[in-house]
Structure 1
Amino acid sequence: MKVLLKLSFLFTCFQILAQNSFQLTKIERHKSSQKIVSEYNYDGSKAPFLHGVASGDPLPDRVIIWTRVTVANPDKNIRVHWEISPDIDFRYIINSGYVTTNENKDYTVKVDADKLQESTTYYYRFKLYNTYSVIGKTRTSPKSSDEIENLRFAIVSCSNYQAGYFNAYQNIANRSDIDAVIHLGDYIYEYKKGGYGYSSNRPDRGHESQHEIVTLEDYRVRYSFYRLDPNLQDIHQQHPFITVWDDHEFANDAYMDGAENHSDDEGDWNLRKSNAKKAYFEWLPVRENKEDSNRIYRKISYGKLVDLFMIDTRIEGRTKQINNHNNSNSKKFLAFSKSQKNKLNWAVNHMVENSFNDNLDYNEKIKISNYISRALKTETNHSLVNSKTINPFSIKELNEIKDILNKAEKNLKKKSLIKNRQTLSSSSILGDEQKSWLKNNLKKSSATWKIIGNQVMMTPFGLKINRFSKSWYSFLIPKWMKKWHQLNKDDWNLYTNEKNEILDFIQNNVNNVAILTGDIHMMFASEVEKNGSCIIPEFTTPSVTSPNLDLLPDWAIWLLKI
């Protein structure tokens, strides 16, 4: 790394381990709102505050504190008492009050507790019907003029409930040296029970609602379900959160006007997006923007050391991704790929989809996948390694391979001309308003470090298949893949003009910028380069539970040359 960070980033790269299951019981929600009656993991002794407490968005003089009340047959309006103190015994109450919640807020409670001192640990709690919640702990940020020697943040993302257990959250909750937890998105996942990430080996880790979430009711129930997890409750109880959303708080590969995982039969996208935003602001301890209550991007300062810019590369201004695999051909082939029990065939199918997309039809992609799998099996068996005179394909098969690849090459050339015209001149990942905000605030910042909290990678993530060029089966690999193949079809590298614009601006105007990234379920420390020079370092955090490269076979990792 060409720059030395004084800021210590704590990445959650813990091995997912099994935990004991918890008591299954029921939570009844207001009948008139048609909420589910289902079996949940929860601690009944916490009633009526079954979802625990949380805090977030710390400032020098205030912090958001949060809870939810769950009672049978609730009144139209429920008045909840809150208090905050510098001591855990609440001998001195620095601020307190009442707040009203109701069905329109899903009975969640959010308070912007002020009159606080900078760089101070506080304890807070709520009371309803003479019953107190658990005590939460939080911490305010320093003043922007304060000299700060060091900070420690826990950086997390991609917490899919049905993909595993939230042990990473618990490990962070157990620490006492964290200034804040920065969550870079995918706090929840939208998929149905038994969908992405689910394993029959973990029958206690399903999803509620059991279908894919679309309505406001659906999103609320999904947040409620996640927030009953004891590990997630513990980390929220112990540390303030600073959050942004990514795509799965809405739908997979979401952008401003749609998503890969949204179809016409699921209704209007803008309504679904509005539902997702409302539930997010209800269930997370995030401060709503006074100018635009649906805007998530914001700045939080930590003394003279850090200005933290939490940006929205997902919903605010992102145009549709080029190569978004939303055509019926790709959907059908990916569904077929997911059904493959042989890991080599499964991985090759996904490589073929990434390589050819709609440049080949469904049957042609199956054929070329089978040919590549045969070649890889031959090589891994060491029976024909580097042989240029013998291969397992007949003349008829070789001619078919040639015809398929020629067709793909012609289709690619045609579509490249179209993409170059559409493309990168009009595409955006930030939107004009957010981009101007980011540039202006970066330039005005006097903090030593300017840290950008961001959803998707700036560093190119893909593969070079240099080794294939010398192999006996190099004829199977398309020409464009022998150079560089961008694997991630959803990051900054599909918005090249805007990426270069931001990098040029930073290079010419701002020092000591670093970027934090989630989304991709893997951990990287990398240099974001332009013309061979490092412009900013990027730190990519692994997932809390979502699958990563550990699940791929050794040969697939061998292919990757980042």
Structure 2
Amino acid sequence: MTLNRREFVRIAAALGASLAWSGGARASRTGWREARALYPEGVASGDPDPTSVILWTRRPFVSGTRHILSVEVATDPAFLRVVAHAAAPVSAAADWTARVLVGGLKPATTYWYRFTDAEGNGSRIGRTITAPRPNDRRAVNFAFVSCQSVNEGALNGYRRMLFEDEQARPEDRLDFVLHLGDFIYEVVQYPDEVQTRYDRTIYEVARIPDGLKVGDFHIPTTVDGYRAIWRGYLRDPDLQDARARWPFVCMWDNHEFSWQGWQSILKAGPIEQPGQSVKVAANQAWFEYIPARVSPPSGALDQFGPPAVENVKIERFDSHGLGDEPNNRTAINSLIAYRALRYGRHLDLILTDLHSFRSPDPFGDPSLGGLGDWGDYNGMFPEAAMQVLDGGRAFDGGHPPADIRFGAQAIANPQRDAPPQTLLGAAQKTWFKNRLRRSTATWKIWGASLGTLELRADPENLPPELVKAPWPSGQFANLGGGDHGSAWIERGEIYDLVREEKITGFAVVSGDRHSFWAGYAAKALPPASFAPVGLSFVGASLASPGAMESLEHRLAKDAPLRPLYLADRADGGPPDWTYNMLLRHGVRACVDYARHHDRDQARALGNPALAPHLEFVDMGGHGFAKVRLDGREIRTEFVCIPRPIRRSAQADGGPLRYRVVHRARLWRPGERPRLVQEVLEGDPGLGA
């Protein structure tokens, strides 16, 4: 669809952005001279479509409350052919950030942009790319990333991504970067209070005004606190370079608001309290610092306009688990971030918000401890019991059991009258399903901040000497909770739609888990029928610590179940990560590998019913994933870097651990998708 200028003005106003419209090309007349120090968070672009893109910068001033910048967009980096020019207001009320929607651009075209103040002081030059037209059959390339704690790590993955993109052939370069959340971490450690965590150094990020203290963490409760964290993160040089090179498409995860929070409830460790004002503050800061096609409540061009809310306890929930309290509803709807973007003939990218509308956690009831001593099993929980809890009153076609049983133990079912768990919420789920049903793109990619693949184990096969009491026969364990890997009812509803509507080319890309995963989108696993309808990929964290790091430091050498997670080496070297083997092959394989260190022998003992949905797992991976898709296949490449403890001084970001690619040909309705794996560089160890 081609928009005229009047329609475009209306859209810019709805997005809270200033407007620039492309016209005839001419040389720049601004007198720009680069002064990066005056633009300390750099520049960025986001959410491109075929004719427009949102541009962003921050230019703080020491006097006054409002100033005007100029923004230029050119078809060349020397700005000899400027095609758009506009005024961009910045104000103290918006923390001196500017958002400009530039329209009238050409599809699938690279542009350069820059900002200049009234004295000619200019930002660095940014580069952006518009999306192809919906009927354009060219291949699409994008990266997806998540979980970038610069408080305790380095963003060497961006440096590697930049280096590879600059060396790539033009047709192989990235069109955009998809960020699936935990762009910031609202839990901040101060290096004068905590110097290290695991083998990592704690780096200065920000000092939070008017926050809470939970253990070693400082947590914001006001917009100024969140803004301070955003500024601290965006001063990272590798993140700045990445945002200046590509348009970003962003969706939040949990840490943009609250560590364990949901809806507008603030939850961090022992603290759980109403947080309506905190949710609004978090949304405002996200809006101010992320250029995205989302609408602020104010309807103004340059300010968020936060709604007035009070922190009131949520005591009633509707039939979908949504807190039926006016301040809660106002807070979670103060910024709607779920949206979809079309990239040519082959990609429909559908982004969902999995925290703002989710129902209460069904796995948090204290009575569940009555089913057994889970400390003996290191966090494993009966999968069948979790499925009952997830299903609530909808379990077994609306016939949930009165009791939940596990072996000889039984407790009253605490979720018997509750609605089934939802991460999407009713309104978003309806939107998501309609978008998926109507999509005409070759590939329908669900950008989900949280994973969808089960974390499963088979502790019934443990040697009796490793546990005090045997796990009941025929019962799998689940090691997850909190994402769609343990939201069987809702995930099944989505996958049923894919099957019933004969949708092909369906795939999920996710973050959050701090690990690499490749597998199949399937409603159920054995002993139920395994019938995948699509693909599912999880990208590792860019910088944040993962499960293997925690296990290496916290799991005692003499812990009975240590072989399921870590296999110590006779030469005293770093332990092998048998957790990857546990999730794909089961406990017998892990125990054998820990004794003999023979991969093939251990895998031969694997349980084929455990994880037919998994082709690859690396619970210790860091880095990013790249996706290339066209009319015939999807190709997902995991680029794994060493543990990013400190910033690399190398132009390429340092060495690689491995590079693994998974390919799948486009399948027909009724066919099963099939992944083909190839290790291109390095050794993924027990993950491949």
Give the TM-score normalised by the residue count of structure 2.
0.60
Q: 1:322 touches 1:494 (CA, 8 Å); kept in 2?
A: no
Q: SS of the residue aligned with 2:161?
A: helix
Letter in 2 for 1:163: E
1:434 is matched with: 428
Q: SS of the residue aligned with 2:197?
A: coil
2:339 is matched with: 298
Q: Does 1:413 align with 2:453?
A: no
Q: Does 1:514 align with 2:514?
A: no
- Shift in alpha-carbon separation, 1:133–1:246, aligned structure 2, 3 A: same
CA drift at 1:191:
1.1
CA drift at 1:299:
0.9
CA drift at 1:321:
1.7
Residue in structure 2 matching 1:94, options 83, 90, 94: 83
Count the aligned residue pairs.
Answer: 443
Q: SS of the residue aligned with 2:533?
A: strand
Q: SS of the residue aligned with 2:294?
A: coil
CA drift at 1:471:
2.7
Matches within 5 A, 1:177-326: 177-193=173-189, 199=197, 202-203=200-201, 205-209=203-207, 211-261=218-268, 268-289=274-295, 294-315=335-356, 317-324=357-364
1:69 is matched with: 59
Q: Which has the higher helix share?
A: 1
CA drift at 1:288:
1.7
Q: 2:137 touches 2:346 (CA, 8 Å); kept in 1?
A: yes
2:539 is matched with: 541
Letter in 2 for 1:117: K
Q: 1:251 touches 1:262 (CA, 8 Å); kept in 2?
A: no
Matches within 5 A, 1:30-69: 46-69=36-59
Q: 2:176 touches 2:248 (CA, 8 Å); kept in 1?
A: yes
Residue in structure 1 matching 2:496, options 498, 501, 504: 504
- Shift in alpha-carbon separation, 1:138–1:411, aligned structure 2, 3 A: farther
Q: 2:381 touches 2:478 (CA, 8 Å); kept in 1?
A: no
Letter in 2 for 1:528: A
Q: 2:498 touches 2:504 (CA, 8 Å); kept in 1?
A: yes
Q: SS of the residue aligned with 1:253?
A: coil
Matches within 5 A, 1:444-459: 444-459=438-453
- Shift in alpha-carbon separation, 1:236–1:47, aligned structure 2, 3 A: same
CA distance in 2 between counterparts of 1:435 and 1:329 reads: 29
Q: 1:79 touches 1:100 (CA, 8 Å); kept in 2?
A: yes
CA distance in 2 between counterparts of 1:247 and 1:529 reads: 25
Q: 1:464 touches 1:484 (CA, 8 Å); kept in 2?
A: yes
- Shift in alpha-carbon separation, 1:477–1:183, aligned structure 2, 3 A: farther
Q: 1:139 touches 1:240 (CA, 8 Å); kept in 2?
A: yes
1:387 is matched with: none
- For 1:214-273, what per-residue CA distance to the aligned partner results, in whole angstroms no more than 9, with x for missing partners? 2111100000000000011010011110010000111123321425417668x6311111
- Shift in alpha-carbon separation, 1:412–1:220, aligned structure 2, 3 A: farther
Q: Which has the higher strand share?
A: 2
- Shift in alpha-carbon separation, 1:279–1:196, aligned structure 2, 3 A: farther
- Shift in alpha-carbon separation, 1:202–1:352, aligned structure 2, 3 A: closer
Q: 1:160 touches 1:197 (CA, 8 Å); kept in 2?
A: no
2:635 is matched with: none
- For 1:501-532, what per-residue CA distance to the aligned partner results, in whole angstroms no more than 9, with x for missing partners? 11111111122111101010110111121331
Q: SS of the residue aligned with 2:544?
A: coil
CA drift at 1:45:
5.4
CA distance in 1 between counterparts of 2:480 and 2:284 reads: 29
- For 1:41-95, what per-residue CA distance to the aligned partner results, in whole angstroms no more than 9, with x for missing partners? xxx9512111110111011001111110123x23111111101011111111111
Letter in 1 for 2:359: T
Q: SS of the residue aligned with 2:465?
A: coil
Q: 1:123 touches 1:136 (CA, 8 Å); kept in 2?
A: yes
- Shift in alpha-carbon separation, 1:433–1:409, aligned structure 2, 3 A: closer
CA drift at 1:201:
5.7
- Shift in alpha-carbon separation, 1:45–1:81, aligned structure 2, 3 A: closer
Q: Does 1:130 align with 2:120?
A: yes
Q: SS of the residue aligned with 1:527?
A: strand
Q: SS of the residue aligned with 1:65?
A: strand
CA distance in 2 between counterparts of 1:162 and 1:436 reads: 38
Letter in 2 for 1:464: D
- For 1:321-364, what per-residue CA distance to the aligned partner results, in whole angstroms no more than 9, with x for missing partners? 22248x7999xxxxxxxxxxxxxxxxx969545549xx9xxxxx
1:108 is matched with: 97
CA distance in 1 between counterparts of 2:445 and 2:198 reads: 40
Letter in 2 for 1:467: N
Matches within 5 A, 1:361-400: none
Stretches of structure 2 lacking an aligned partner (at least 5 in a row): 1-33, 167-172, 209-217, 298-332, 386-404, 524-528, 553-561, 566-578, 587-610, 612-688
Letter in 2 for 1:295: I
- Shift in alpha-carbon separation, 1:437–1:185, aligned structure 2, 3 A: same
- For 1:426-484, what per-residue CA distance to the aligned partner results, in whole angstroms no more than 9, with x for missing partners? x321111111111111111111111110011211113221431x43344435549x722
Q: 1:454 touches 1:518 (CA, 8 Å); kept in 2?
A: yes
- Shift in alpha-carbon separation, 1:197–1:253, aligned structure 2, 3 A: farther
Letter in 2 for 1:446: T
CA distance in 2 between counterparts of 1:135 and 1:350 reads: 56
Q: 1:310 touches 1:452 (CA, 8 Å); kept in 2?
A: yes
- Relative to structure 2, which stretch is displaced further, 172-181 or 47-56? 172-181
CA drift at 1:157:
0.5
Residue in structure 1 matching 2:162, options 173, 187, 190: 173
Q: Does 1:528 align with 2:521?
A: yes
Identity %: 27
- Shift in alpha-carbon separation, 1:412–1:456, aligned structure 2, 3 A: farther
2:72 is matched with: 83
- Shift in alpha-carbon separation, 1:204–1:491, aligned structure 2, 3 A: closer
CA drift at 1:110:
0.8
Letter in 1 for 2:239: L
- Shift in alpha-carbon separation, 1:411–1:89, aligned structure 2, 3 A: farther
Q: 2:126 touches 2:244 (CA, 8 Å); kept in 1?
A: yes
Letter in 2 for 1:252: W
Q: 2:145 touches 2:539 (CA, 8 Å); kept in 1?
A: yes
Higher relative contact order (CA 8 A, sep 6+): 1
- For 1:116-169, what per-residue CA distance to the aligned partner results, in whole angstroms no more than 9, with x for missing partners? 100000000000121111000010000112222x11111100111123101001
CA drift at 1:550:
3.4
Residue in structure 2 matching 1:485, options 457, 461, 477: 477
1:4 is matched with: none
